[in-house]
Amino acid sequence: MPTYERHVLFVDDEAEIRESIQALLEAGNVHVTTAEDGSDALQQMQRGLRPDVIIADIEMPVMDGFAFYQAVRANDAWLPIPFIILTAHDDKANFRRAMLLGVDEVLIKPLDAERLLLTIYNRVKRTQELTRYAEAAQETLDFVRRDVARMFTHELKTPLVSLNMVTELLTRHTGDLSSQEARDLIASLEAGNTRLNRLLRQMELLIQLDTGELPKLIRIAARPGPLWDALTAAVSRARSFSYRQRDIPVHYDPGPENGQIVAEWNSLTHALAELLSNAMAFSPPDGVVKVRQWLENGRACLSISDSGPGIPESSQGDLFRRFHQVQREKHEQQGIGMGLYLSRYIVESMGGTLKLISEEGRGTTVTISFPLFGAQPSREPPSPPAQADLPAREEPAPFFPLSEPPAQDRPGTSDLRASVLQDDGNDEDSW
């Protein structure tokens, strides 16, 4: 028994043509199933026949080629099967109709043997390629779904466990707690609440982005103001985002001029807070986050730099993809991988740019820029500062105050709060 590489369903009402085409194709290592009209072919497919390619004549009794084509395309399971229509050389009307219906190929009778075999081979090969692509895409989608579900479960579970434990301790042991212990537990409640609020705010922004509401909001609510002034609220918010590195100093260089830009300030504050929180999270315990502002080519520019481990070059291409995290298994990071994605979208929605430069062992610098209010737009992009160009200070530079006192390392803090805050991994957010 010969082993055929491809299977064709050939449909024609003339027995002589069916027999000659079957002999021709089988000589070319193609298995052929024949049918005398569209109704016969459709019944065979409904009984389980699944050919690699369908070839059908147009003029047939009971069910012609066009009706058969439409019946095949009405079944989702048969959509990937290439469908070839046969038409006479001078039948321009049917040729046009076939093309408008969307058939995969129209062949002119009388058939050329070599062209027929090449067409079948080409269509089968293309279908196989698309099938492999679809299977790979589905596998990737399934993985992303599992990974995102795991991240969301972790991000919701961790603060909720902490909140439940603190609530239970306060309920059962209120009279046994010192004032310092009570303050520490309340701080834990606030930290868990902030973590949940951040997740909800990220999801709110993501929904607004996907529905087109965020660009509308930005256009309606945008107002002029100093870029630098947005940092005060952003640093405070970033410190509340950063669960363990919230005391990292922020050294800043405001530059000689404070550039006025047009922005929707609540969204911009969130974007800056995400960038600052990442910089704090990836800084070493004795590190600093450096913020610098300057004006260039009619734009207000701001850079945020850390002295952390940097991002591997192999991972930098996916940094702005939603739900992406760099080496989550290694760093055990908090977050759902939305910080950079949302930050860039918010910045670009306000006419700005966001660029990232990172070098392993030297840290990461994110530079954003906006057109100055009232200035003519420039074609020259801003030049992001290199890590070595950031100002080195011998004296500690001023840094923004915390929105609340840091809860860790307070005098008299007991191990009670440490047990409440214990987590299954490092809680820094990821780029």
Report if residue 370 sits inside a domain: yes
pLDDT value at residue 10: 94
Q: What is the rounded CA–CA span in Å between residue 213 and residue 206?
A: 10
Q: Are the C-beta atoms of 337 and 325 separated by less than 8 Å?
A: yes
Please give the helix or strand (H or E) that residue 8 lies within, else none.
strand 6-11
Task: Give the closest residue to 316 by CA, choosing from 428, 431, 151.
Answer: 431
- Kindly state whether residues 306 and 377 are assigned to the same domain: yes
Q: Flag whether pLDDT at 421 surpasses 80.
A: no
The encoded tokens of residue 356 equal: 């990232």
Give the percent of the chain with pLDDT over 70: 71
Could you give the number of structural domains in the chain?
Answer: 2
In this predicted structure, the answer to whether residue 417 has a pLDDT above a threshold of 50 is no
Asked if residue 253 and residue 375 are part of one domain, the reply reads yes
Residue 316 burial by CB count (10 A; 0-12/13-18/19+): exposed, middle or buried? middle
Q: Which residue(s) pair with 83 in the sheet?
A: 54
Question: Does the structure show a pLDDT above 70 at 189?
Answer: yes
Q: Is the C-alpha dihedral spanning 174, 176, 179, 183 positive or negative?
A: negative
Mean pLDDT, rounded, of the chain: 75
Q: What is the pLDDT of residue 423?
A: 41
Given pLDDT bands bounded at 50, 70 and 90, which one contains residue 387?
A: very low
Give tens-digit pLDDT for 193-205: 766 766 777 677 7
Instruction: Clarify whether residues 32 and 88 are in a common domain.
Output: yes
- Choosing from 53, 84, 111, the residue where a domain stops is 111
216 plus 338 within the same structural domain: yes
What does the pLDDT read at residue 5?
72
Residue 64 counted as domain residue: yes
Give residue 314's pLDDT: 61
Per-residue confidence (pLDDT) for residue 179, from 0 to 100: 80
On the question of pLDDT at 383 being above 60, the answer is: no
The pLDDT, as a whole number, for residue 235 is 86
Work out the pLDDT band at 321, boundaries 50, 70, 90. low
For residue 8, give every residue at least 6 positions away whose Cβ sits within 8 Å of its Cβ, in sequence order, or none: 25, 30, 31, 32, 33, 51, 52, 53, 54, 55, 120
Please indicate, yes or no, if residue 76 is contained in any of the structural domains.
yes
| Site of tokens 């969204």 | 267
Give the model's pLDDT for residue 69. Answer: 95
Residue 107 shares a structural domain with residue 162: no
Chain-centre distance for alpha carbon 164: 32
Rounded to whole angstroms, the Cα distance separating 288 from 247 reads: 10
Q: What is the pLDDT of residues 208-236, one digit of tens each?
A: 777 777 778 888 888 999 988 888 888 88
Instruction: Select the more confidently predicted residue: 41 or 248.
Output: 41
> Taking 90 as the threshold, does the pLDDT of residue 48 lie above it?
yes
- Of 410 and 346, the one with more pLDDT: 346
Q: 298: alpha, beta or left, given left = phi > 0 and alpha = psi -120 to 50?
A: left
Residue 328 has a pLDDT of 45
pLDDT at 270: 87
Sign, CA torsion 225/200/166/153: negative
Sheet architecture: strand order including 30-35: 30-35, 6-11, 53-57, 83-88, 105-109
Kindly state whether residues 104 and 165 are assigned to the same domain.
no
Q: How far is CA 20 from CA 11, 113, 140, 160, in A?
A: 12, 11, 45, 73
Residue 121 lies in a domain: no
The mean pLDDT of 87-103, rounded to a whole number, is 85
**Antiparallel, parallel or unpaired: β 30-35 and 289-296:** unpaired
Same domain, 256 and 157: yes
Q: Are 251 and 293 in contact (CB under 8 A)?
A: no
How does residue 372 score in pLDDT terms, banded at 50, 70 and 90? very high
- What's the pTM value of the predicted model, to 2 decimals? 0.47
More confident call, 422 vs 171: 171
Is residue 307 within 8 Å of residue 286, measured between CB atoms?
no
Q: Flag whether 82 is in a domain.
A: yes
Is residue 99 included in any domain, yes or no?
Answer: yes
More confident residue, 397 or 263: 263
CATH number at residue 294: 3.30.565.10
Same domain, residue pair 102 and 211: no
Residue 352, Cα to own-chain centre: how many angstroms? 20
**Domain range for residue 45?**
6-111
- Residues 100 and 181 placed together within one structural domain of the fold: no
Q: Give the domain-ending residue among 111, 140, 167.
A: 111
Beta bridge partners of 334: 429
Encode 127-159: b = buried (16+ Cβ within 10 Å), e = exposed. Answer: beeeeeeeeeeeeeeeeeeebeeebeebbeebb
Structural domain includes residue 354: yes
Question: What pLDDT is stored for residue 245 in this prediction?
Answer: 67
Please indicate, yes or no, whether residues 57 and 161 belong to a single structural domain of this protein. no
Q: Per residue in 114-150, pLDDT tens?
A: 888 888 888 888 888 888 888 877 776 666 566 655 6
Range of weakest confidence among 83-97, 148-162, 340-354 = 148-162
- State residue 108's pLDDT score: 84
Q: Which residues contact 25 (CB under 8 A, 6 or more apart)?
A: 8, 10, 32, 116, 117, 120
**Rounded to an integer, what distance in angstroms lies between the CA atom of residue 429 and that of residue 431?**
7
- Length of the chain equals 431
pLDDT at 67: 94
Q: Do 246 and 391 lie in a common domain?
A: yes
Name the most confidently modeled range: 62-76, 85-99, 171-185.
Answer: 62-76
Buried b (16+ CB within 10 A) or exposed e, 381-398: ebebbebeebeeeeeeee
DSSP state of 317: G
Domain stop point among 87, 111, 135: 111
Provide the CATH number for the domain around residue 94. Answer: 3.40.50.2300
**Residue 134 forms part of a structural domain:** no
Tokens of 284: 């070493």
Q: Do 179 and 90 belong together in one domain?
A: no
